[in-house]
Amino acid sequence: MTKLIIQIPCLNEEESLPVTLSSLPTKIEGIDKIEILIIDDGSTDKTAEIAKKYGAHHIIRFARHKGLSEAFMAGMDSALKLGADIIVNTDADNQYCADDIGKLIRPIMEGKAEIVVGDRQITKVEHFSGTKKLLQKLGSWVVRQLSGTSIPDTTSGFRAFSREAALKLNVLSRFTYTLETIIQAGKKNIAICHVPVRTNPTTRDSRLFSSIWSYIKRSLSTILRIYTIYEPLKIFMYIGGSVFLAGLILLGRFLYFYFFNIRPYGHIQSVIIAGVLLIIGLLIGAIGILADLISANRKLIEESLYRIKKIELQHTGDRERPGKDK
């Protein structure tokens, strides 16, 4: 029996949630059971009550607001414990066309991918400004280069995950899961693809950021941090190499003036600065080597965590199986 759980992170969504829940499919070809999971991220309105009224099967409530990333991961963890074979994440504001869920999960059901991202085809979204479209395309290009994937819409929250993919993902960012999960998929060799999806007219402004520039700043810091976690040696070698090269240039400048007798004693400051830069460059390189060793250890820890999750979920399933001896 194939079970699909549709998870929806929510924050004060009592107005939009009825439309969102009412539009979700109750039957999809190849899926035997569909359940809805609401993650109430510390809402101060009647989000949880509305979710229950409109048919949500499971509701997780945070006592206080923790952020989109924690809500997303809490939903993934709960969906796994509830026995989901496929997990679909969508937004509570009815941004995405729910009729496309069948299309979204198809590559997973056919064994072609473990993660599927819904491509909103940014250029066709009417309520996005020209600046936002440009920044979205630029940001997605950066994530594609860093992750080695081909996802055109990296900020889309309309996604499907296989059970195996959900077990392997560990979101560290407190800002958003969208960029990090794609970079993780690329670095962990998780099969990821995209399908075109439709969007509905916007009902409200985004609550994830106060302005475009705030979003850019936080997104860049998230991308840099996550990429550094997975490729620390490359990052530190780039930085250390640049500093070391600057030191070599200054040292070469001094040697040129010295050997050609052009004020040979008038550029001693170049030697001092060059020495400092060369030492700093070497130290940054050494830090990169240490960070790479830590990264290797982190991979072993993540593999251990993956195995522990599988064992835990297997035991949970055994306890819940009818006829199981107590």
CA R_g for the chain: 25
Tell me what the mean pLDDT of segment 94-121 comes to. 95
pLDDT tens digit sequence for 275-323: 999 999 999 999 999 999 999 998 899 999 999 988 988 876 655 544 4
Query: Distance between CA 270 and CA 255 in Å, rounded?
Result: 10
Contact present, 229 and 172 (Cβ < 8 Å): yes
Q: Tokens standing for 299?
A: 């991979």
Element of type H or E holding 91: none
d(C-alpha 183, C-alpha 223), whole Å = 8
What contacts 2, CB < 8 A, 6 or more positions away?
A: 30, 31, 32, 33, 85, 86, 109
Q: How far apart are the first and last CA of the chain?
A: 24
- DSSP strands (E only) in the chain: 3-10, 33-40, 58-61, 86-89, 115-119, 159-162, 192-196
DSSP state of 178: H
pLDDT band with cut points at 50, 70 and 90 for residue 166: very high
- What integer is the mean pLDDT of 16-24? 94
Residue 205 has pLDDT above 70, yes or no: no
Residue 109: pLDDT band with limits 50, 70, 90: very high
pLDDT of residue 202: 74
CB contact at 8 A, 79 and 5: yes
Q: What is the mean pLDDT of residues 126-136?
A: 78
Do residues 109 and 86 lie in contact, with contact meaning Cβ atoms separated by under 8 Å?
yes
Per-residue pLDDT at 230: 87
| 265, pLDDT greater than 70 | no
Predicted pLDDT of residue 144: 93
Higher-pLDDT residue of 271 and 194 is 194
Comparing 71 with 207, the larger pLDDT belongs to 71
CA–CA distance, 61 with 54 (Å, rounded to integer): 16
- CATH superfamily ID and name for 3-229: Spore Coat Polysaccharide Biosynthesis Protein SpsA; Chain A (3.90.550.10)
Tell me the mean pLDDT in the region 192-205.
85
**What's the pLDDT band for 325 if we cut at 50, 70, 90?**
very low
Pairing of strands 58-61, 33-40: parallel
- Is 176 in contact with 69 (CB distance < 8 Å)? yes
Domain ranges in the chain are: 3-229, 232-320
**The predicted structure's pLDDT at residue 254:** 84
Banded model confidence at residue 214, pLDDT cuts 50, 70, 90 = confident
CA distance 161 to 36: 15
